[in-house]
Structure 1
Amino acid sequence: MTSTAPSPSWLQRHWFSTVLGVILLLLYGPVLLHWIDGWLNKSISIEHEYFSHGLLGIPYAGYLVWRQRRKWQRLPDTAHPAGWVCLVIGALFYLSGTSEGVNLSLPLVLVGLCLVLKGASGLQLQRFPLLFVALATPNALPYLITPFTLPLQAFIANVAGFVLFQLGVPDLAIEGIYITVQDRLVEVAPYCAGLKMLFTSLYVAVLLLHWTGVARSRFKVGALLTGTVVISVAVNIVRNTILTYLHGMGYDGAFAWTHEGLGGDLISLGMLLLVVLWLDLLERSSHYYYGEPMVGIINYAGWAQIFGQGEKKQ
C-alpha cells in the first residue's frame, strides 16, 4: 500500500515571494497612493506633477514583471554584494522620513532586491521595469534644472509673440520671457515652457520604444527622441500663443480652461498622439527604405474598419 504526499499549495511553494510582496506593499503602498493622489488631484506640488507619467509607466512596469515571472524563477539564486549596499542606502533614505528620501528609496530597494535575490542576471532581466519606476519617481530634478530653462522660455516667448504679431494682435510687446497684450502681462514660466510636457513625452517615447521593440535600432531611438523634443517644443509654442491671446484679449474663462482645465489636458493628449504618429512614420519609412511592406505600429485599416462599421450601424 502506497501513500501519495499531497502536493504543496501555491502559498507553500511561493511563501518567500508572498512575504516579500506583503512587506513591500505595506512599506510602499501608502507612498504610491500618495503619489497617485498628487498626480490626479494636483495636491502636492508643481514639481510632483512633472512625474504624472507614472500613472502609465508604473502599471506597465508591473505588467512586465508579471510577464517575466517564469524567466525570473528560472534564474539561479545568487546574491551580488552591491545589492546589500543598495538595500542599506534605500533603508536609510526611507527611515529619513523626508518626502524626497522616501521616494528615492523605492527604486534603490527594488534594484537591491534584484541583485540580492538573482544577482546581475536578475537586474538585467528587470532593467526596463526598474527604469520605468525610476523615471516615474518624484524627485527634485525639475526644481534643479529650472534655472537652466531661461533660454527655452525666451525662445518660446519670442516665437509666440512673432506669431501673434503676424495675426495682427494689437498692443503687443515682448521683453525676455514676458509678453504683453493690451497691458495684460503673460510670463512664460518654466512650467509654461513645457518642462512637464517634455518629461511626459520623453517618458512615453521610451515606453513606446520598449513596447514596440524599436529600441533595438539606434537610429530609430535617436530619431524618435529627437523628434519628441521638437514636437514638445512646437506644441508648447502653440499652447503659449493661445494662452497669451486668450489672456490678452480678456477671455479669462477660456484662458483658465486652456491653462489648468480640460483644454490643457487635451493639448497634452494631442502632443502624445503626435509622438505615436512620429514613431509610426519612422517604422513605415524604415520598411520602405529596405523594400519591405510599409507596416507601422498603427493599423490604420483596422481603425477604418471599426469606424466604418460604426457608421453603418448608425
Structure 2
Amino acid sequence: MQVQVHMPDSPEPDTSAARRWAVYGALVAAVLAVLLAAYWATAVSIAAIWMRSETYAHGFFILPISGFLVWRRRGALARITPRIQWLGLLGVVAAVLLWLAGDAAEVLGAKQFAVVALIPAVTWALLGTQVVWAIAFPLVFLVFAVPWGQFLVPDLQDFTAWFSVRGLELTGIPVFWEGRMITIPAGDFEVAEACSGIRYVIASLALGCLYAYITYRGPWKRLAFIALALIVPILANGLRAYGIIMIAHWSDMGLATGVDHLIYGWVFFGVVMLILFWIGSLWADRPGVPEDPALRAGQVRATGSASLAVVTLLVLGLGVAGPVAAAWTDALQRQLETRVALPSANGGWQGPMAPVSPWEPGFQGHDVTRHRLYRQEGDAAAVQVLVIHYRWERQGAELVNEQNRLQGEQWHRVAATTRQPALAGGNNIGV
C-alpha cells in the first residue's frame, strides 16, 4: 500500500509589506533631507551648541538613540500598514508657524524646537497615526536634542545657594548670605551659572526618560521614575555645593576651589545616577510583558499612490514655505531705515549730556547705543537714559539672547524685589 503525504507549502514572506515599507521609508527620508537643507542654518545652530557647551553635549547621542529605539520596534511596525494622515499636515503647519515666530523675534530656541518638531510631523503625515503611536517615545525623545533649559538656571542657582546656606547653618558654621554670594570664615563662594546644576538636571532627565521607557511598561511607574530623575539631581546638586564648601572649609581653601570642584561634581553625579538606577531596578517589570493592545490592530486600507503624491508635495510645500517667507520679510526689513535720537531736556531739566557712570548692561550685537544723562537744574536729581537699538535682528545680534545680561560683567545679583515708587500726582508704577 502506497501512502502519499502532502506537506503544506511553507508560508511565503509578505514581500508586498516589505516593499511598501521600503517605499514609504525612503519617501520620509527624502522629505526630511529636503527640509534639513531648507532649515540648514537652524540645524547647524543646534550642533554648534552641542559642540561648545558641556551642558548639551548629550545631544550628539539623541538621534542615534531614537533611531535604535525605532529599530527595536520593527516587529510592531511590520504589522502596521503605513498610510497617509491628512491631519499630519496640521503638525507641519504648526511647526513652520513656530519657526516663523521664532525667526521674527530671533528666538533661536523656538526655531530649534520647530525644526525638531518637523520630524514627528512629517512621520505622522506620511506614515499615519498607528505608526506614530508605535514609535511615540522615540519621537518625543528627540526633544532632548534641542538645547533647552537655560531659563531654569537662575532658579536653580537660587535653590542651590539656599540649600547650601541651610546646610552650613545646620553644621554650625557662621555664614553670611547675600543673593548668590556665600561667605564663611574660610572664604567667599559664588553660586555661578556653572554651579546651578542645569547640566545634571538635563542629563538626568534624559537618562531617566530612557531608563523608564526601557524598564517599565506601566505609565505610573514611568512617571514616578521620571519625577525622581528630575528631583534627585536638584537636591544632589545642592548637597554637592554644600559639600564643596565644607571641603574648602576643612582644607583652609586648599581643595575644591578650582577646576577640581567640577571634577568632584561629575563624580558625585555619577554615583547619584547609579544609586537612582539601582533603586529603579527594584520595581522593574519582568521581561516579556505583552505589548500595548493598541499596537495589535490589524492592517488598514492602503493609500493610493495619487493621494500619497499629493500629501508629499503638500508637506514639502508647507515645509519650505517657512524659510521662503522669512527671506522675503528679511529683505523688506533691511529696506527700512531707523534713527535713534534722544530729545532735548525741558521743564527745568538739562541734557542730554555725557553720563557720569560708565555702567551699561551686557547686551551684545546691537547696532546703535545712546547713553546720556539728564540733570534737574539746582537739584541733585539725575536720570541716566540708555537706549540699545537692534536695527534688524540676526543670529548673534538679537535682543532675546541668553548671553545678554542686565547687570553687566562687573555686577552680581544679590536680591530681587518688587516695589511701588510714588510719582507726582499720587500715581504708582510697578518696578
Same fold (TM > 0.5): yes
- What are the equivalent positions in structure 2 for 1:204-243 lying under 5 Å apart? 204-212=207-215, 214-216=216-218, 218=220, 220-243=221-244
Q: 1:258 is matched with which residue?
A: 260
Question: Which of 25-34 and 119-128 deviates more?
Answer: 25-34
Q: Which has the larger radius of gyration?
A: 2
Q: 2:89 is matched with which residue?
A: 84
SS at match of 2:195: coil
> Any unmatched runs of 5+ in structure 1?
1-7, 43-48, 288-314
The verdict on how the C-alpha distance between 1:278 and 1:33 changes in structure 2, with shifts beyond 3 A counting, is farther
Deviation per CA, 1:129-178: give whole Å up to 9, x if none. 12111243123x431x4555576234312233236x35xx6x64345543
> Is the counterpart of residue 182 in structure 1 residue 189 in structure 2?
no
**AA of the residue aligned to 1:152:** F
**Contact 1:111 1:130 (8 Å CA) reproduced:** yes
Instruction: Give distance in 2, aligned partners of 1:23 and 1:69.
Output: 25
**AA of the residue aligned to 2:273:** L
SS at match of 1:201: helix
1:60 to 62, 65, 83: 65
The verdict on how the C-alpha distance between 1:266 and 1:39 changes in structure 2, with shifts beyond 3 A counting, is farther
Shift of 1:31: 5.4
Percent of matched pairs sharing the same residue: 20
Deviation per CA, 1:158-209: give whole Å up to 9, x if none. 233236x35xx6x643455432123632233565242332232122111101
Shift of 1:109: 0.6
Q: 1:127 is matched with which residue?
A: 136
The verdict on how the C-alpha distance between 1:102 and 1:272 changes in structure 2, with shifts beyond 3 A counting, is same
> Is the counterpart of residue 113 in structure 1 residue 119 in structure 2?
no
Question: Which of 188-197 and 129-138 deviates more?
Answer: 188-197
The verdict on how the C-alpha distance between 1:122 and 1:20 changes in structure 2, with shifts beyond 3 A counting, is same
**Contact 2:159 2:238 (8 Å CA) reproduced:** no
Q: 1:19 is matched with which residue?
A: 30
SS at match of 1:255: coil
**AA of the residue aligned to 1:64:** L
* Greater helix fraction, Structure 1 or Structure 2: 1
The verdict on how the C-alpha distance between 1:52 and 1:78 changes in structure 2, with shifts beyond 3 A counting, is same
The verdict on how the C-alpha distance between 1:117 and 1:55 changes in structure 2, with shifts beyond 3 A counting, is same
> Is the counterpart of residue 198 in structure 1 residue 195 in structure 2?
no
**Contact 1:77 1:117 (8 Å CA) reproduced:** yes
**Contact 2:169 2:175 (8 Å CA) reproduced:** no
Shift of 1:40: 4.5
Deviation per CA, 1:96-151: give whole Å up to 9, x if none. 38432431122321121122112322321221012111243123x431x4555576
Q: 2:49 is matched with which residue?
A: 38
Instruction: Give distance in 1, aligned partners of 2:91 and 2:219.
Output: 32
> Any unmatched runs of 5+ in structure 2?
1-18, 287-431
**AA of the residue aligned to 1:199:** I
**Contact 1:202 1:229 (8 Å CA) reproduced:** yes
Equivalent residue pairs, number: 260
SS at match of 2:90: helix
**Contact 1:57 1:207 (8 Å CA) reproduced:** no
Instruction: Give distance in 2, aligned partners of 1:187 and 1:86.
Output: 44
Instruction: Give distance in 1, aligned partners of 2:98 and 2:121.
Output: 13
The verdict on how the C-alpha distance between 1:12 and 1:120 changes in structure 2, with shifts beyond 3 A counting, is closer
**AA of the residue aligned to 1:187:** E
The verdict on how the C-alpha distance between 1:175 and 1:224 changes in structure 2, with shifts beyond 3 A counting, is same
Deviation per CA, 1:48-98: give whole Å up to 9, x if none. x554443443321111223335654632312232x2222234335556384
SS at match of 1:282: coil
**Contact 1:72 1:125 (8 Å CA) reproduced:** yes
- Relative contact order (C-alpha < 8 Å, sep 6+): which is higher? 2
Instruction: Give distance in 2, aligned partners of 1:176 and 1:12.
Output: 59
